[in-house]
Chain A
Amino acid sequence: MASRTLSLKKRGFTFEVFMWAFTRFTVIAMYGLILAGILGALSLSAQTGANFGDILYWAFFPNMAENPLGQVWMVILAKLMVIAFVLTACGHGVHGVLEIWDDYVTSENARRWARNIVISYAIVASIIAIYVILSA
C-alpha cells in the first residue's frame, strides 16, 4: 500500500485537524510522563529506600497513603507530575469519547449535548482530582 501524506497547509486548520493534533500530542505527553514517572519513582526509591510501589500508590492516592518521601521538593514534583498526567489523560479522553459517540449518533442536537456533557464532566473531574492531590 502506497503511503499518502497531506501537508498541514493542504489539510487546513479545521476543528478536526486541531483535535487530531491535540490527541496525538497529549498521548505523546502521557507516554513521556509515564516514562518520567517510572524513572523518577525508581530514582526516589533508590535515594529514600521507600518501596517503588508505595511511591506510585501515594502519588496517585495521596489522601489514602502515608507519604514515603521526606523532602518537600520531591513531594511537590510528584504531585505536579500526577496532576499533569491526569490533565493530559482527561484531554485525550474527551476527544476519544466524543469520536466514538459521533460515530454512532448522527443527530446534531445529541452531538452538541454530548460535547457539553463530556467536556463539563472532564473539567469537573479534573478539578476534583487536582484539589484532592494538592490538598492531601
Chain B
Amino acid sequence: MGLKRNVSLSAALGYKGQGPYLTYILHRIGGSALLILFTVYVLALLGVDSMHALLNNWLFQVVFLVFGLFHAINGLRITILDLSPKLIEHFRMAINIEWVAYVLIAGFALFVILRNAFGG
C-alpha cells in the first residue's frame, strides 16, 4: 500500500464514504485521543501536577468526552455487528441508532461538564 493519499478527507466524506466512513475516521480519532488521555492519566498518577491540572480543565474534558464517548459507542456497534454477522444487513440503521445514542449521552455529559465549569 502506498503512502501517498490522493483523496482528501473532505472528498472521501462527500463521495462513497459518507456515514460509515465518518464513523470509521471518528473511531480512529477517538482511539488516538484516548491514547493521549491514557498517557496523561499515567503521568498524573506519577504526580505530575500539570497533568492533573489538565485533567481538571473543562476544555480538555469536553474534547476527550466528545471523542472518547464516540469511540466507546461506535466500538459497541462494531462489536455487536462482528459477533452477530446477520445484523450487518442493517448496519446503516445501526449507525443511525448509534448517532442518536451518542447525541443523547454526549449531550448530557457536555451539559454536566459545562454546568460544573460555569456554575448555574
Q: Could you list which residues of chain A lie within 8 angstroms of chain B, going by C-beta atoms?
A: 1-5, 24, 27-28, 31, 60-61, 63-64, 89-90, 93, 96-97, 100, 103-106, 125, 128-129, 132-133
**Given A5-B85, A125-B42, A105:B3 Cβ within 8 A:** yes
Does B96 count as interface, using CB distance less than 8 angstroms? no
Which listed residue, B28, B31, B45, touches A63 by the CB 8 Å rule? B45
| CB–CB B79/A93 < 8 A | no
Instruction: Return the chain B residue nearest A105 by Cβ.
Output: B3
| CB–CB A27/B85 < 8 A | no
Q: State the main secondary structure of chain B at its contact with A.
A: helix
**Bitwise interface map of B from 71 to 111 toward A, beta carbon under 8 Å scored 1, else 0:** 00001100100110111110100000000000000000000
**Given A64-B52, A125-B38, A28:B88 Cβ within 8 A:** no
Does B41 count as interface, using CB distance less than 8 angstroms? yes
Which listed residue, B2, B3, B45, B83, touches A128 by the CB 8 Å rule? B45
> With the chains together, A30 CA to B20 CA distance in Å?
24
**Bitwise interface map of B from 14 to 47 toward A, beta carbon under 8 Å scored 1, else 0:** 0000000000000010011011001101101111
> With the chains together, A110 CA to B87 CA distance in Å?
37
| CB–CB A61/B38 < 8 A | no
Which listed residue, B35, B39, B88, touches A3 by the CB 8 Å rule? B88
> With the chains together, A44 CA to B53 CA distance in Å?
28
> With the chains together, A105 CA to B87 CA distance in Å?
33
| Interchain nearest-CB distance for B47 vs A (Å) | 7
Find chain A residues with CB under 8 A from B52 CB: 64
Instruction: For the A-B complex with A2-B89, A90-B38, A100-B31 known, give 18 more contacts whose Cβ atoms are closer than 8 Å.
Output: A1-B88, A1-B91, A3-B86, A3-B89, A27-B75, A27-B79, A31-B76, A60-B41, A61-B44, A63-B47, A64-B52, A93-B35, A97-B31, A100-B32, A106-B3, A125-B38, A125-B42, A128-B46
